[in-house]
């Protein structure tokens, strides 16, 4: 058996694959005070459904894949470890100045935001390495020992080290690591040239700072997860999804926790690509994962999941950049738990604040007083208060209606249905703008893309979203309510290695480049022989970080080969860069040479042979529930009589016309008037919006 768990802000999703390749889904409430307890609760629920004791079920497990937002939540809330920053003397402001950008470039009174590590914990190291790797000033070990003594007095919990040009010659950084182990034993540290050998100083420093600050927290969390799983009976392999959309062993993740930032949202694009390939002929897909707290948007372009190195935690320039490649996911505070509120000027807002799992929406009856998107859906009749989570949780419609009238209806002079519909309209607009940011702003026309709806709240307003965007097709996978967890189930073991070596296509350094690529390939093969030893297929891909002469920023260009032997090979790289540049910026300088700054190798090891995700209902039996009807409200049509169907009981190729509500124990799909839906053989619901 295989298990995949995604711990969200409101719900913990579990997908279980049995030995026959069939899967079942489960949802439990997230337990913010102890997220591992929420994971174990989901496993107990699954064991009960399988008619087994939890330890018996877990003992059959081969693989446990976990996605978590623990790391990014710690950064956002400022609950990371007390971390010191060591850098080359004369350069203490790397984390303060960042890359010099401003949101208001002409406002020179705007103060710099606080750095990730405060200046009081920033210490300068007497040393200097040249750009060519020559030692310009030797490391002053005596002064460094005094600094380490000061860190001991400051009771730091972690240390980040970033020295100039350590990516060319890491001698000084390595020696600092040795001295930290000797004088501050047990204090975790991160060396920048190991975690992110990037040419850009701020990004490398920021990566090291974040990674070090997360080590105590994530080491404890992942250690607790693995220990408690073992105690509960699990004997298989524990993997954690990375921000690049792959997976790595939990203990390896504890040593490099920066890989776990955005771990949860990075899984949805994998599942989105899987379903787009199965059920749509469109080349581009928009993957929208709507949870209880956030709305995460990502893309699939020509079968590839785009990456970005511009990942900011917080506002651009004013937040903190991870400096690390990641699946390009845009997140906003919009989900089922997003709170609706009216400002002093009488404008309605939805989010970004969320009711979360505790106290949750008002309808949960757990002490929440502020109306949410979920409350609006209950009032509109879209969500059946007696069938939430398959009936496991009863919702209070009256309390939800009272809260909406008090906080939204009366301030805006609207009745309860119009107030609830207004909440949904604003939430939809917020989501549309988030999708436009990642599509229109990157030259992608959503009118030629399929929207993949995932997350427990995906189907609520997905039809309204695709109508606003002009998408011709909407897919709600049967695993959509746990899309990220399903993505974890089909994720590959993955690792990435990089190096810096400058050359130009005008005077290409064949020997130097081939040496760098050979070293990267050797690391990939060592990974295959180690963590990937039990994989069923291995793939190594190479990319170059390239630019035109005098450009400041590089873009990634995929390489067709692992070595460059002829002029034709170099010309092939140049032409591929032109194509990539034109795709991103709509322009290419075909007469120009191309400079390459860095080289990367990515290795993927497939752990799962099946190309199917077949969902089996709880208890292994289809529900025997007759179709019914109920009154639901749509802003453009008022109260209408809508058909109510069970998702898992729908026959394949049977056409359903809106207005209709399609329910499952995990999600609700609202089929607006004028829309139509058909269930594919894969189990997905394919919706034509008009």
Q: Tell me, what CATH number does 65's domain have? A: 3.30.420.40
What is the pLDDT averaged over residues 210-216? 96
More confident residue, 463 or 304: 463
Residues 204 and 94 in one domain: yes
Q: Say what angle helices 35-49 and 201-232 make with each other, to 10 degrees.
A: 40
Residue 297 lies in a domain: no
Last residue of a domain, one of 226, 260, 294: 260
Do both 118 and 208 map to the same domain? yes
- Residue 50 covered by a domain: yes
Residue 459 has pLDDT above 60, yes or no: yes
Residue 47, domain extent: 2-75+218-260
Bridge partner list, 631: 641
Report pLDDT digits (tens) over 104-118. Answer: 778 888 777 889 999
Q: How far apart are CA 213 and CA 219, in angstroms?
A: 11
Pairing assessment for the beta strands 676-679 and 685-688 based on DSSP bridges? antiparallel
Within-domain flag for 559:
yes
Mean pLDDT, rounded, for 322-328: 85
For residue 130, what pLDDT band results from cuts at 50, 70 and 90?
very high
Both 17 and 92 in one domain: the answer is: no
Peptide bond into 359 cis (omega under 30): yes
Q: Which of 132-146, 346-360, 601-615 has the lowest mean pLDDT?
A: 601-615
For residues 18 and 642, what is the distance between their CA atoms, to the nearest angstrom?
A: 36
Entry pTM: 0.84
Please give the pLDDT value at position 620. 54
Domain boundary, last residue among 159, 186, 214: 214
What does the block give as tokens for 229?
């799983």
Note whether 202 and 145 are same-domain residues.
yes
> 514 with 591, same domain?
yes
Q: What is the mean pLDDT of residues 213-226?
A: 93
Q: Is 566 left (phi over 0), alpha (psi -120 to 50) or beta?
A: beta
Q: At how many degrees (to 10) do helices 171-183 and 141-154 cross?
A: 50
Question: Distance (Å, rounded) from C-alpha 371 to C-alpha 363?
Answer: 9
The rounded distance, in Å, linking the Cα atoms of 468 and 202 is 39
pLDDT digits (tens, 9 = 90+) for 189-208: 999 999 999 888 999 999 99
- C-alpha 468/C-alpha 324 separation (Å) is 33
Is 314 a residue whose pLDDT tops 70?
yes
Q: 110 and 188: one domain?
A: yes
- Is residue 536 in some structural domain? yes
Q: Is the pLDDT of residue 155 over 90?
A: yes
Say whether both 119 and 175 belong to one domain: yes
Q: Which residue has the higher pLDDT, 686 or 609?
A: 686
Q: How far is CA 668 from the centre of its chain?
A: 23
Please check whether residue 319 lies inside any domain of the structure.
Answer: no
Mean pLDDT of 592-610: 91
pLDDT class of 610 with cuts at 50, 70, 90: low
* Number of domains composing the chain: 3
- Residue 499 in any domain: the answer is yes
Of 234, 260, 286, the residue that ends a domain is 260
Please tell me whether residues 226 and 205 are part of one structural domain. no
65 and 93 belong to one structural domain: no
Same domain, 168 and 186: yes
Is 634 inside any structural domain? no
Task: Identify the pLDDT of residue 611.
Answer: 65
Distance in angstroms (rounded) separating the CA atoms of residues 46 and 527: 33
User: How many helical (H) and strand (E) elements, i.e. helices and strands, does the chain have?
Assistant: 18, 35
Which is it for the CA torsion 191, 553, 243, 71, positive or negative? positive
The two tokens of residue 552 are: 């400041």
User: Do 9 and 61 belong to one domain?
Assistant: yes
Higher pLDDT pick, 148 / 32 = 148
**Residue partners of 332: CB distance under 8 A and separation at least 6:** 294, 295, 351, 352, 430, 431, 434
For residues 143 and 170, membership in a common domain is answered with: yes
pLDDT at 619 over 60: no
So what's the pLDDT on residue 113?
84
CB atoms within 10 A of CB 559: 21
What does R_g of the chain's alpha carbons equal in angstroms?
Answer: 26
CATH number at residue 541: 3.30.1490
**pLDDT per residue as tens digits for the range 292-310:** 777 889 999 888 888 787 8
Residue 97 lies in a domain: yes
pLDDT digits (tens, 9 = 90+) for 394-412: 999 999 999 999 999 999 9
pLDDT, position 624? 58
Predicted confidence (pLDDT) per residue in 354-390, tens digit? 887 778 899 999 999 999 999 999 999 999 999 988 8
């Amino acid at each position: 058996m295989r298990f995949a768990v995604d711990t969200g802000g409101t719900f913990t999703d579990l997908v279980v694959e049995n030995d026959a390749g069939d899967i079942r889904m489960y949802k439990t409430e997230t337990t913010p005070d102890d997220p591992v307890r929420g994971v174990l609760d989901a496993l107990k629920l699954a064991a009960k459904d399988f008619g087994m004791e939890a330890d018996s079920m877990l003992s059959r497990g081969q693989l446990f894949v976990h996605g978590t937002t623990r790391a990014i939540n710690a950064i956002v809330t400022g609950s990371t470890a007390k971390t010191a920053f060591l850098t080359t003397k004369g350069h203490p402001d790397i984390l303060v100045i960042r890359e010099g950008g401003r949101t208001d470039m002409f406002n020179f009174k705007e103060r710099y935001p606080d750095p990730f590590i405060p200046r009081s914990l920033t210490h300068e190291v007497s040393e200097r390495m040249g750009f060519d790797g020559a030692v310009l000033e030797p490391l002053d070990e005596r002064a460094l020992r005094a600094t380490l003594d000061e860190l001991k007095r400051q009771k730091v919990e972690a240390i980040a080290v970033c020295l100039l040009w350590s990516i060319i010659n890491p001698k000084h950084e390595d020696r600092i690591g040795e001295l930290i182990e000797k004088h501050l034993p047990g204090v975790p540290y991160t060396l920048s040239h190991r975690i992110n050998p990037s040419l850009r100083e701020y990004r490398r420093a920021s990566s090291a700072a974040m990674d070090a600050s997360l080590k105590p927290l994530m080491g404890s969390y992942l250690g607790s997860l693995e220990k408690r799983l073992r105690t509960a009976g699990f004997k298989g392999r524990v993997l954690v999804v990375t921000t690049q959309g792959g997976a790595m062993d939990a203990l390896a993740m504890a040593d490099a926790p920066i890989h776990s930032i955005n771990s949860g949202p990075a899984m949805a694009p994998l599942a989105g690509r899987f379903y787009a390939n199965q059920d749509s002929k469109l080349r581009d897909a928009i993957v929208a994962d709507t949870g209880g707290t956030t709305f995460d948007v990502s893309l699939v372009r020509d079968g590839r999941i785009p990456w970005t190195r511009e990942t900011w935690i917080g506002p651009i320039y004013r937040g903190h950049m991870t400096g690390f490649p990641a699946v390009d996911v845009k997140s906003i505070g919009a989900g089922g738990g997003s709170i609706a509120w009216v400002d002093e000027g009488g404008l309605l807002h939805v989010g970004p604040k969320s009711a979360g799992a505790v106290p949750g929406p008002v309808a949960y009856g757990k002490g929440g007083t502020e109306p949410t998107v979920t409350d609006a859906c209950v009032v509109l009749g879209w969500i059946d208060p007696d069938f939430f989570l398959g009936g496991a949780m009863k919702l209070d419609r009256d309390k939800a209606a009272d809260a909406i009238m008090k906080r939204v209806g009366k301030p805006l002079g609207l009745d309860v249905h119009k107030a609830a519909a207004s909440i949904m309209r604003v939430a939809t607009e917020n989501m549309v703008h988030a999708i436009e940011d990642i599509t229109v702003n990157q030259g992608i026309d959503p009118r030629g893309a399929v929207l993949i709806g995932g997350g427990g709240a995906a189907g609520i307003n997905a039809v309204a979203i695709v109508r606003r965007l002009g998408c011709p097709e909407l897919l709600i996978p049967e695993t959509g309510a746990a899309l990220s967890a399903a993505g974890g189930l089909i994720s590959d073991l993955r690792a990435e290695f990089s190096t810096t070596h400058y050359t130009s296509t005008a005077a290409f350094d064949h020997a130097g480049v081939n040496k760098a690529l050979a070293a990267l390939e050797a690391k990939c093969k060592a990974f295959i022989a180690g963590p990937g030893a039990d994989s069923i297929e291995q793939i190594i891909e190479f990319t170059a970080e390239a630019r035109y002469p005098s450009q400041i920023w590089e873009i990634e260009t995929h390489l067709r080969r692992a070595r460059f032997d002829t002029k034709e090979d170099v010309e092939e790289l140049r032409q591929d860069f032109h194509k990539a540049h034109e795709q991103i910026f709509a322009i290419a300088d075909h007469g120009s040479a191309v400079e390459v700054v860095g080289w990367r190798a990515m290795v993927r090891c497939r752990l799962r042979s099946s190309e199917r995700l077949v969902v089996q209902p709880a208890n292994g039996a289809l529900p025997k529930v007759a179709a019914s009807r109920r009154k639901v409200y749509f802003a453009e049509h008022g109260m209408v009589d809508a058909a109510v169907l069970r998702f898992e009981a729908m026959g394949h190729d049977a056409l359903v016309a809106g207005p209709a509500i399609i329910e499952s124990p995990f999600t609700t799909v609202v089929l607006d008037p004028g829309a139509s839906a058909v269930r594919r053989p894969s189990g997905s619901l394919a919706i034509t919006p008009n």
